[in-house]
Amino acid sequence: MPAHRHVLQAPLRPVVAAAHGYSSPAMPTGLHRGLPSAHLTLVVELAAPLRVTGPGPAVAAHAVVGGLHTRPALIDAGRPQEGLQYALTPVGAQALLGVPAVELAGRTVDLADLLGRAADRLVDDLVAADGWAERFARLDAALVDRLSGPVVPVPPEVREAWRLVHGSAGRCRVEELAAHVGWSRRHLAERFRLATGVTPKQAARIARFEATRRMLVDPGRPPLAEVATRCGYADQPHLAREWRALAGCSIGTWLREELPFVQDTDAAAAGGSGS
């Protein structure tokens, strides 16, 4: 399941966390789960319209955007797929898409609903590109062009709270965050949600989930009881409940059905040049 690495153009690095291309055969289960993460997701699927069910209404389009979410996005993977996937920061959502991250929270939308005919032209341009390097160059250029628009600034207190939530892998309590930035817990929760689409508590839940996921894909992963302890869960049953709620399946099912796909895309996100 080849994955294609890409180093982003410098202007995009503050708003796009990672980018990769993928070429994958049909999955045996016919299903891929898009898991909750700290980033919004922009996918341009070149082979056929991407069909996504949840979170939010179902969508079928060549280019889709997923906001921050706490439930899996179920992606039809019953046929071969090829395309590009960019992980956008919550701040990057407005800069690149023209809407704040809160308007995309818990939703997957057709890029054309946000950009109009420009989205269709972008898909056509990428389909016509000659190879991965040109695909990445064209998508980067299209996104850089959108950076010139006005952006509502995110309060530094929210930026700091976001940094602490993810820097601690979700281990920082909301009360500690509020005290650190000098706001009340209620005020922080509302301003944080307006900027990112999730509350600090939800962001911490996602951060712990991501820490677990990183540990699970490590070939030398420890027993699940140790994973639970190291990632901030009360015990292994607590981890199992949270994983099922956020991933829509058990850890064992996810490892069996999704791990090969995840390992390839994780390798792509690690860095390198377009190929």
Q: Which domains does the chain have, with CATH numbers?
A: 3-150 (2.60.120.10), 156-257 (1.10.10.60)
Residue 68: predicted pLDDT: 97
Split at pLDDT 50, 70, 90, the class of 149 is low
Q: What is the mean pLDDT of residues 90-102?
A: 91
Name every residue whose Cβ is closer than 8 Å to that of residue 153 and which is 6 or more positions away in sequence. Answer: none
- The label of the residue with tokens 């920082």 reads 172
Nearest of 131, 149, 139 to residue 93 by alpha carbon: 149
**Is 145 in contact with 98 (CB distance < 8 Å)?**
no
Angle, vertex CA 74, rays to CA 31 and CA 193, nearest 5: 155
Quote the CA–CA distance of 242 and 134 in Å, as a whole number: 40
By the 10 Å C-beta count (0-12 exposed, 13-18 middle, 19+ buried), 31 is classed as middle
Radius of gyration of the chain (CA): 18
Element (H, E) at 4: strand 3-5
Q: What is the mean pLDDT of residues 11-27?
A: 94
Split at pLDDT 50, 70, 90, the class of 2 is low
Phi, psi (degrees; rounded to nearest 5) at 110: -70, 130
Quote the CA–CA distance of 61 and 64 in Å, as a whole number: 6
Determine the distance from the C-alpha atom of residue 243 to the mean position of all C-alpha atoms in its chain, rounded to a whole number: 17
**Is 87 in contact with 269 (CB distance < 8 Å)?**
yes
Helix, strand, coil percent values for the chain (each to nearest 5):
50, 15, 35
Distances (CA, A) of 109 to 40, 105, 106, 148, 201: 11, 10, 10, 23, 25
Nearest of 166, 29, 27, 4 to residue 85 by alpha carbon: 4
Name every residue whose Cβ is closer than 8 Å to that of residue 179 and which is 6 or more positions away in sequence. Answer: none
Q: Which two tokens stand for residue 145?
A: 């062009």
- Reduced to 3 states (helix: H, G, I; strand: E, B; else coil), residue 106 is coil
Q: Which two tokens stand for residue 95?
A: 């800069």
- The label of the residue with tokens 């309590």 reads 173
Mean pLDDT, the chain, integer: 91
pTM for the predicted model, two decimal places: 0.91
Q: Which two tokens stand for residue 114?
A: 């946000």
Residue 263: predicted pLDDT: 45
pLDDT digits (tens, 9 = 90+) for 52-70: 998 889 999 999 999 999 9
Residue 152: predicted pLDDT: 74
